[in-house]
Each structure stands twice: as structure tokens, then as C-alpha cells.
Structure 1
């Protein structure tokens, strides 16, 4: 049966499956040069709506933190999982992202009737699932997942900053900014850096010529 598009930009289903418990899934951390990729799965409680859910990238850090607290307080359940730097190197970033999503869904204490995943690719799931392009702006549960994942990864970045204060993880969050690239050039990679990503790999190749 073919899927039908929803006319509800913030609905809990897309009109393609029976009613029931819906899990929204989103990831964060595909683009950075360091750290794991994280995914969150969130099952919202329609009896406890949360106003203001949207793509986490369109929210200020303060507002994300406020909404994250509300999500943990009001959602039926939440789960956050990750794929490590080592898994990213072994699998590639896409497959590691899908693995993190799969783990996040598996970590839910309730079994969803359907899973809605942001983007155009689905992890391997033994559940009815649909990929939703721009889902973090169209589906409330996916928006909630994007917020939870982003807040959790930003907290990890603060931990890395405490370990390696000269790299600026508290500011660039692992992305390849000029500040980050300058620190990499000056100090070399930390154990958190993804050695297979081009800027890090190029630096290592320069430092250790064959």
C-alpha cells in the first residue's frame, strides 16, 4: 500500500498507518570532525502537548534546553543512543548514523506502532517505519528527537572541552570551523577526532608522510 502525504505539519502520524504509539527519530553529529554520532527516539504523549517543538537547529541553546527538559518530563519515553568514532571509521558515517538510530529505537521502554525517521533513509527496524524529509519541521515527535539528540551531544562537547580546553569544543561543537582547524593544525588530533574525515586525514598524512 502506498503512503499518503499528511496535511498536518506537526501531526503524530502521516496518515499511512493505524493509530497507536508513534516514535520520532532524528540524529545529530554527522558533519563534525570529532565525536560519536547520536540519535534520539521520542514517543510523545498526546495528552501532554509541548508547544514550540521544531527543528533543533532553528532554536537557541537556551530554548533547546528548556524544551528538552519538557520532553523528558512529558513524553511517554525517550531513548538516546550513539555510534562511536570507531564505528564511524569502520562502517562510514551513513551506516553509523543508521546504527545509532536503530539503537535509539531499541532502547525505548515502550514498543511503538510506527516509527517516523527524519531524512530519506531508514535504519533496519522490525517495525513499520517511514522516512520523512524535513521531518524535524513536519512531525512533532521527530522535532522532539532532534532537540533531545542535539542537547545531549552539546553536553558531550562540554565534556570534551574540559578534557581538551585548547580545541574550543565548547564553541564549534566539533564542526570544521577555522578555530577548530587551527587547533588541529597546532595540536594534532585528540582521541575523539574522526581520522577518516578529510581535514583530519589530511593533517595526519602531512604529519606522517609515507
Structure 2
């Protein structure tokens, strides 16, 4: 049976936890690049060099692996807003550019010979309005978008990413309905990290939800 090969930003740690707890129905390999973005996939000279690292790991195509791509939280929580402010551009255009960059990367992997791969939705933002505690919160302080605005943008990003996956006949996994508070429409408190300085989801709960969603996929061995 082929392994899951999880690549993406630091939120890949949820899959690392799932693998460590043996929640997944396949063996797992993980490559996380903190700060990696979808928009950065079109630039091999990006600050994180993420696309170069991902391609080095995944190309030429591995016969024993199914790539799983987890990106977008950094885009929706910071980069899209920052680029729109910096360039005087609209948020929707920056959103479209981020999704297009991710789709182009997917096409590169498919063209290289992967018969399938899994796209995952960006996780919901957790940094509260006005929050200054934590390294990531401080780094993103230039962006004034509210938590609700960032959450709504994440939903739009995921809807577009789902469309790109469906257009290519690829599975798409999105856990946002499972981790959303139905009353507030924001990330549910039980999925917030117990460390208020940590913007990642609560590790074990997130791992359980991701594993359940991935294990339901009907993919060839």
C-alpha cells in the first residue's frame, strides 16, 4: 500500500501527530516548511524555498506515495491581505493568484506521473482580533483583517480549491465544517490550541479529525 506523503506549511504537524498516534490507515511521511504559502509555489526563490523543497522530495514521481498538500492558512490569514495592502490590489485577485499557484503545482505533480494526490482545505484561522501574544501573531500584526474576515476568506479559498480538485478528478478533504462553532461561525474553542501563543489547532483533536477524513477516501492501494 502506498504511503501518504504530507507536504505543506507548519499545519502538517497535525498529520505528524495522527501518524504518531497510529490513526491513519496508511504509513505516512511528512515534509513541513513553516511559513510556506500557496502563492509561494510559483516562486522557487521565495523566502521559505518551499516549492524547491517539495519538488526535491516528490520528483521524480514516487511509485509508493500519494502526495497530500496542506497549504493556505498563511495565505488566508496573512499574505493575501498583506499583498493587497502593499500593492493596492483587491483581496479577490490575490485570492485567485494563490489558488492558481497551488493548481499549477498540482499540475506539475500530475504531469510528472502521479496518478492521484489529495488536496486539503486550509485550516481556519485562530489568531484573535488584537492578539499580540505569540511569534506568529506579532509577525502578522500589519494585517488589520478581523478574525471573521480571515475566516470568510478561508471558506472562499477552500471553495475555489475544491473546484480545482474536482476539475482534475482529485479528492479534496476539508475539515472546516467539523471544527467550526455553529453559533459563531468561527473556529470552535475545543479546537483552539491550549497554548494561547500557538496559532495551530489543538494537536490531538485536529489529528483525529484529519485522520477520520483521510481514512474515508476511496483510493487504490
Normalized per residue, which structure has more strand?
1
Higher-Rg member (1/2):
1
Query: TM tier, shorter chain?
Result: under 0.3
* TM-score normalised by the chain length of structure 2: 0.26
More contact order relative to length (CA 8 Å, sep ≥ 6): 1
